[in-house]
Structure 1
Amino acid sequence: YDCRNYASNSNSDILKTNKFTNSSAGGYSFLDRIYSRDSMTKKKVGQPHKALVHIKFNMPVKIDGTASLDEKLISTCVGVVVDVKLGLVVCERYQVPTTLGDALVTFEGAYLTTASVIFVHPFHLFSILQYDPRAVDESIVSELKLNPVPVSIGEVVDYFGLSMKQSRSMYLGAIVGSSESVHIKTSPDAKEKFIPRNFEYFVGTQNVSGLGGVFLDPNDHSIRGFNFHFFRIDITSGLQASAVFPFLEQIQVSLLSGKTNPVSQMKTLGIHLDFLPLADVIHALGMNMEWTAKMIESMDQYHRTVMVISQKLACVTQLYEHDVILSINGESVARISEYHRLVNNQDFVTITVLRNGNVTEIKNVPTQLFSTLGTTRVAFCCGMVCQEVTLAIQFALGSEAKNGVYISSVFPGSPAKEAYVKTTGGLIIKEVNGDPVEDLDCLLDKVSTIKSGKNLRFKTLDIQDGNISTFSVQLDLQFWPIREMVRSPSTGEWSLNDISAFVGENSEGNVKNNVSEEAEGTWKRISNYVGSFRT
């Protein structure tokens, strides 16, 4: 049987009875077969294996609630080459969560080159890398174009991916069984960790183990979706390629115009959306018949849900949690793709919401600016790795996370570690020696005036339980100088800068931006543990 011919004639039968897609029901199943690159792959879909690459990402320190320092800060995932001339690769954000790190890209399982992270989406589950195309021979790499049309239920797509050991490519035909917006709730024990927000995914009809891959259009082999394992359950869950398309297009235009940092910010609303069945909104929340008719008219038969705000940032003042979004700029909105089309990169929007049983129109709602580069500055103080409060924490804690500095990790053997500073779950520094700490600049200004050997008293907020606690740390600038790593906005390179360091026993105080040879040698020994810095 040809899967596509069967699907085109009997889509409804397949979706209702799962006939032909389940070999356990009896008979031979085309979809149960996985073909190697040397057989079915080249005949069916050309050579997309040359566009699939293996990515290894190495972080020097733990930031943004990522892997523990006790583990190897190395992650692996599948990437997809989407532009050969510019060297652009789309990959999974879970495994490539920040611009602070080095990426190694493997082509055809044999050829290595380095790459830099140039885009990290603040909400969605994808990042974009760039390698030097001059370092890769054209014969070992190809590109796959993105298709801006969302995948719909009943469509047939081709899945193409890499096996878990990257030893071979895999081909699989699949039928899209569902397509919906998803809400992933924040774990109570991991409020500091990134979770994807406000996105739409689809699910195919077959499962197979693998590292990840892409869903291709069977006609022109364009990318319809990315399999980035955001649930780590099955391989046929896909992120719509239409969500990636506008950002990739913007990056391509910027790079072709000669810009080093193509896209550093994006505008959208700082809200986290959940989805409720339309029937619940009508009967439990009291939506009137007029708006019920409008919402039904804007929906298709497969999606009878509406969007409700489950979390919001403290800077969003005109919208409230539990507001049901009915329309944006006069258009009824039921799908997350429509929401992004109407909101992204707008300065102001007009939103109609259902609030406490009443329909309210809110005009001139400002959008917020979000970095698409992730964390761009990290400071080291008393063995603590400090950074600005992450977006995930701001969503989880609201106004409590508006001010302060997040302690993302603590080095073993450091003064902070000896003071039993919490290393899991995370703390936010609120005060130093009784003075409030607004941000990272404020923290560095206060600690840089303290002499080596003196004590620092920190007042902190526990991210998990909200408890306030204090601890004292002795400042040891000889072995633990105060430094910062900063990403250059012009070149994209990271540099290691001195803030305050030990300058000898006879010194009356600390000298900013002046490090003795002894302190420099000590830091080199520390940096062997921290990792290699790009300076």
Structure 2
Amino acid sequence: MFKKAITLYLLALFAHSLSASESPQWKKTIEDLANSVVSIRVNAVRTFDTEGSKTTQATGFIVDAERGIILTNRHVVHPGPITAEAVFSNSEEIELKPIYRDPVHDFGFFRFNPNDLQFIKPRALKLNAKSAKVGDDIRVIGNDSGEHMSILSGTLARLDRSAPRYRRGGYNDFNTFYYQSSADTSGGSSGAPVVNIKGEVVALNAGGNTRSSSSFFLPLYKVTRALEAIQKGQPIARGTIQTTLSYQPYDQVRRLGLPESFEKAFRDKGNGNGLLTVERTVFEGPAYEKLRPGDIIISVKSAAQAIDYVSRYEVFEIFLDEHVGKTIELKVLRQGKAMTIELAVDDLHQITPDEFVQLAGGIFNDFSYQIARQTNLSAKGVYIASPGFMFGNAGIGRGVVIQGINESKVDNLADFVNALKPLKQNQYFKIKYVSIGSPNNQQIGNVKFISNLHHSQKCLRNDSLGIWECEPLEWNQSFESFPPTEVKFTNFSDKQTAKIARSLVMVNADLPYHIDGQNYDHYSGTGLVLDADNGLVLVDRNTVPIKLVDVTINVSGIAEIPAEVLFVHPVHSYALLKYDPMLLPGKPLRSAPLSSKELSAGDSAWLVGYQATDRIISERVKVSSVEPLELPLPNVPQFRDSNINSILINNPPSVASGVLIDKRGKVRSWWTNYAYSNSTSQTIDRGLPIKHIIDIRDQWAENQAVEVYSLEVELRPITIASARNFGLSDEWMEQLQDSNKKPQALRITRRVAGSEAFDKLKDGDLLLAIDNSPIRDFNELEDAIEKDRVKVSVWRDGKQQDFLVATKKLTETDTLNFYLWSGALIQKPHRAVAAQYGIEPKGVYISWYYFGSPANRYNLRPLMRITEFEGEKVTDLEQFIALSQKHSDKLYVRIRMLDLIGRESIITLKQDLRYWPTQKIFWDGKTWHNRLMGT
């Protein structure tokens, strides 16, 4: 009784939502159908063919209650791997398995287990493929953008509308009529039943035009045939001659040469107001160079069957479906002359991809007939559905068809895999490809093979199980040996450029994962050779922002050699790289001459740096001022330099970082780019003190390591006059003044969480001294804290207060291991989170998520910290992974989180270990690895 009462209550709410103007008969019809219409939630877990990875919602309805079959759109069932759930009118949720999607038309089927339903017993809706007439009153029962069920009314205005065209290179239906109505359906109504007043489904809602408030419905003639085959356990035959047809009215086909006698014969058949004509054929398809645009289809026959007057899409398509793999004769009129043409009928399923290769974060599938027909290409080659790390680095994006690799022709995925199998890590290979936007221009690309940072697999669709079955792909793990390259530098006419050019290189860095707040995939900048004998190069952190990068050094546009990231400065914009000097015979590079004399306002210098891979520029500049570097807080916590003076130049030339040199060619300052984002993404250029470069060079030469101590506070200089306003004593004002330095004091503006300074010092404190030595500027501070513990004297509450504070040794702040869990990149909170938001670097921080993943579906958002998993407190990464494995058998898990300002929230998430298995990415001291957990 209780269950029945709930159902009746929900149906009453549903009925209450109907328009008050609905007739009693329509109300009863809709109420009778409500239990059979479901809201569908879809995770498209991989970009594949025409569709991207995403989470979406739609509508479906039951067409076979006994077998648990739901009808919806093809673009909902998706051509690639998905996970899906149906929510019934009583809020019962049930898992769906995709079992069919038509290669051409916008319909597909899900299956569920009827025995899993506990509180509702829906019935199958009746399909009526033949009853629709212009002027019929109809209702569309769907869900309103995934939120609530909605009823939209309309009138069938046309039954012979052309299929809607959504976008080039994406999915588009063709070779079928569509119905058109004035009902303005919403995004979540895709797959909704279009019903008449008898409760019969007369069409399937497929799309709409918001500008004209019109909706497009797919007729059911192919749907009913496919459903019958599924119910009988038979394959669904789909034939094609790889030709797009167009339905043209009689006045148009007369212009194409239709004789009056043929028109009279067709009109006597009474089958519409036009004929089918050839719009285009697919390159190298069965009809290529046999049929021509403008041909008018008259009749079709085979050895066993003949149809004399063909003027309807459905008649022609069904004939092709019944003749897959056979030869047919097609009679056409071409410029008024009758012609009979023999054509082979292809299997549509064979030219519609059902497998993919996942490699280096990219997705690759056989090029489909669906896209080929739009691009004047044959249905051969391998399509880049998502370029991933490897192909993206080479500047090759989505929408590209690979036709060859090195000297091997690539017609399909098997060719693609076989051509890549012999390659070594870091080996370059050549690809021949065309873009679907420019199919007549074959291009050549050069790609660097890097497979070991991502999980690789090959997946095949299994519609009987409703899943994609995947097997790992193993690649050659040996590394390519780079041959030595002799480099001869250009003789620069500019004297200043010539003095430093052999100490400058171009550095390119590619990021395989978005961690530590990094949003971009590729960075480049100028590198400064510190030690040519040992191959040490300095770059800024806008070129190498983190340790996990693939780095190459380009020397004079002639040699490109690999480099290793030795050190990334945790506080300032410096990183240290190492290359093998043996790869550059003859020692073409030179160690840069560094001068410890810093630049001052009014000094002249030359700014030298790379603008492109092989173009160095030099321009004389004048230092306008030397000021504390002040950068705004970024929207996303990421590296942000502080506690350093910077050199400003009026209207500096644009370079990808570089150096400021004096007239003798000695480096007086490091010129760096800072990228930051608040409301928009911007960059600023500043010169940094040479002191830090010398320290890094000397420390590495002596210890093969660089030690960085930090008090873990952010400081801002203020004038002595301002310090007086804070109550600073006359004695301290006198001590902070020095005839050789700018009179100023340093005020604490921010502390880094997780440090002793965070607990003992306060924002607003005036820093007076370290170990009794007055601190007047940033250089004095950094020199004074190069030890484990210091006495910090500050001015607070009108008096001097002293604290023993442990400094922090920031030599191991790099993120050296993280996980891909449920489609989210999770890591230990990196230093920027602690520095910019005062959050102690503990627990699990979400740095990124991928579309189509559980993290995307269930709002496991970046910038959140996970604090609790299934009621247990989360302390660190390894413990979190152990908890997730402990509860892996649960349908949903509860996760408690905090955002960056401390607001708490809780979500439930369904793990998907099939398509989103847990992966660990880690540094073993020599190289990076990707390990699939549980294997």
- Selected match of 1:83 from 523, 526, 531: 531
What is the aligned partner in structure 2 of residue 55 from structure 1? 507
Q: 2:627 aligns with which of 180, 192, 205?
A: 180
Equivalent in the alignment of 2:648? 203
Q: Distance in 2 between matches of 1:176 and 1:430?
A: 49
Quote the residue 1:343 is aligned against: 785
- What CA distance in whole angstroms lies between the structure 2 residues aligned with 1:83 and 1:238? 21
Pair 482,452 (structure 1): closer, same or farther in 2 beyond 3 Å: farther
Cα distance in 1 between the residues matched to 2:504 and 2:875: 44
Q: 1 or 2, which has the higher strand percentage? A: 2
Find out whether 1:485 has 2:932 as its counterpart.
no
- Asked whether the 8 Å contact 1:299–1:334 carries over to 2, the reply is no
Residues 622 and 649, structure 2, Cα contact 8 Å, conserved in 1: yes
- What secondary structure does 2:886 align onto? coil
Which residue does 1:194 correspond to in 2? 639
Q: Which residue of 1 aligns with 2:856?
A: 417
Tell me how far 1:233 sits from its aligned partner: 6.1
Aligned length: 438
C-alpha distance in 1 between matches for 2:801 and 2:739 = 19
1:225 matches 2:633:
no
Letter aligned with residue 366 of structure 1 = A
The 1:111/1:37 distance shift into structure 2, 3 A limit, reads: closer
For the residues of structure 1 that align with 2:841 and 2:555, how far apart are their CA atoms? 43
Alignment partner of 1:494 is 2:935:
no
In 2, Cα distance between the equivalents of 1:474 and 1:170? 55
Among 139, 144, 148, which residue is 2:596 paired with? Answer: 148
Q: What is the identity, as a one-letter code, of the residue corresponding to 2:625?
A: S
SS in 1 for 2:708: strand
Q: Of the candidates 725, 732, 741, which is equivalent to residue 291 of structure 1?
A: 732
CA distance in 2 between counterparts of 1:146 and 1:104 reads: 24
Q: 1:79 to 1:44 in 2, by over 3 A?
A: closer
Say if 1:54 and 1:77, in contact at 8 Å, map to a contact too: yes
Partner of 1:461: 898
Residues 298, 333 of structure 1: 8 Å contact kept: no
Is 1:427 aligned to 2:864, yes or no? yes
Q: Which whole-Å CA distance do the structure 1 matches of 2:837 and 2:501 have between them?
A: 44
Determine if contact 2:504/2:528 at 8 Å carries over to the other structure. yes
| Equivalent residue for 2:878, pick from 420, 428, 441 | 441
User: Quick check: 2:525–2:542 contact (8 Å CA) kept in 1?
Assistant: no
Secondary structure of residue in 2 paired with 1:281? helix
**Is structure 2 residue 765 aligned with structure 1 residue 318?**
no
Cα distance in structure 2, aligned partners of 1:293 and 1:326? 11
Instruction: Give 1:185 deviation, angstroms.
Output: 3.5
Distance change in 2, residues 1:218/1:52 (3 Å) = same
Please state how far the C-alpha of 1:310 moved relative to its aligned partner: 1.0
Q: CA deviation at 1:195?
A: 0.7
8 Å CA contact 1:224–1:242 kept in 2: the answer is: no
> Deviations 1:110-136 (Å, cap 9, x if unpaired)?
210111111111110111111111112
- The yes-or-no answer on 1:393 pairing with 2:845 is no
Q: Measure the CA separation in 2 of the matches of 1:147 and 1:437.
A: 50
What is residue 249 of structure 1 aligned with on the other side? 698
Give 1:225 deviation, angstroms: 0.9
8 Å CA contact retained: 2:530, 2:536:
yes
Aligned residues of 2:737 and 2:744 also touching (Cα < 8 A): no
Q: 1:93 to 1:107 in 2, by over 3 A?
A: same
- Counterpart residue type for residue 403 of structure 1: K
Unaligned runs of 5+ in 2: 1-488, 676-681
Equivalent residue number for residue 360 of structure 1:
801
Specify the alignment match of 1:470 in structure 2. Answer: 906
Question: Shift in Å at residue 396 of structure 1?
Answer: 2.6
TM-score (norm 2): 0.45
How far is 1:453 from its partner? Answer: 5.7
* 8 Å contact kept, 1:404–1:437: yes
Tell me how far 1:197 sits from its aligned partner. Answer: 1.7
2-side partners of 1:373 and 1:130: how far apart? 20
Instruction: Report Cα offsets for 1:428-476 as digits up to 9, x if no partner.
Output: 111111111111122122112223563222111112x432112222222
- Residue aligning to 1:376: 816
In the alignment, the residues of structure 1 paired with residue 898 and residue 744 of structure 2 have an alpha-carbon distance, to the nearest angstrom, of 37
2:774 aligns with one of 313, 316, 332: 332
> 1:371/1:406 Cα in 2 relative to 1: closer, same or farther (>3 Å)?
farther
Q: Which amino acid aligns with 1:439?
A: D
Q: Which residue of 2 aligns with 1:27?
A: none
CA contact (8 A) 2:828 2:841 kept: no
Asked if the contact 2:813/2:830 (under 8 Å) is kept, the reply is: no
Distance, in Å, in 2 between the alignment partners of 1:466 and 1:183 is 26
Which residue identity does 2:776 align to in structure 1? A
1:31 corresponds to which residue? none
Does the 8 Å CA contact 1:382/1:482 hold for their aligned counterparts?
A: yes
Give structure 1 stretches of 5+ with no counterpart.
Answer: 1-35, 256-261, 501-514, 516-535
Separation (CA, whole Å) in 1 of partners of 2:557 and 2:630: 35
- Output one character per residue of 1:482-515: Cα deviation in whole Å (capped at 9) or x when no partner: 22112123x3x11223433xxxxxxxxxxxxxx2
Matched, 1:66 2:518: yes
Matched residue type, 1:238: G
Deviation string 1:290-309 (CA, Å, 9 cap, x unpaired) is 11111122662xx3332111
Instruction: Find 2:845's aligned residue among 382, 401, 406.
Output: 406
Q: Distance in 1 between matches of 2:905 and 2:619?
A: 54
When the two chains are superposed, the root-mean-square deviation of aligned CA atoms in Å is 2.3
State the Cα deviation string for residues 13-55 of structure 1 (Å, max 9, x = none): xxxxxxxxxxxxxxxxxxxxxxx975542x3454422222111
Structure 2 residue identity aligned to 1:250: Q
1:150/1:331 Cα in 2 relative to 1: closer, same or farther (>3 Å)? farther
1:171/1:226 CA distance change after superposition, 3 Å: same
Quick one: which of 545, 555, 563 aligns to 1:115?
Answer: 563
Specify whether residues 452 and 266 from structure 1 end up closer, same or farther in structure 2 by C-alpha distance, changes over 3 A only.
Answer: farther
CA distance in 2, matches of 1:95, 1:170: 18
- Gap change, CA 1:246 and 1:272, over 3 Å in 2: same
Conserved? CA contact 1:54–1:78, under 8 Å? yes
Q: Secondary structure at the match of 1:138?
A: coil
Structure 1 residues 228-282: Cα deviation after superposition (integer angstroms, max 9, x where no partner): 12276665x3011112221221112234xxxxxx34x532211111222221111
Instruction: Report the AA paired with residue 643 of structure 2.
Output: N
SS at structure 1 position matched to 2:717: strand
Structure 1: distance between partners of 2:573 and 2:771: 27
What secondary structure is seen at the aligned counterpart in 1 of 2:691? helix
CA distance in 2 between counterparts of 1:355 and 1:401 reads: 24
1:291 to 1:380, Cα distance in 2 relative to 1, 3 A: same
Separation of aligned partners in 1, 2:789 and 2:885: 41
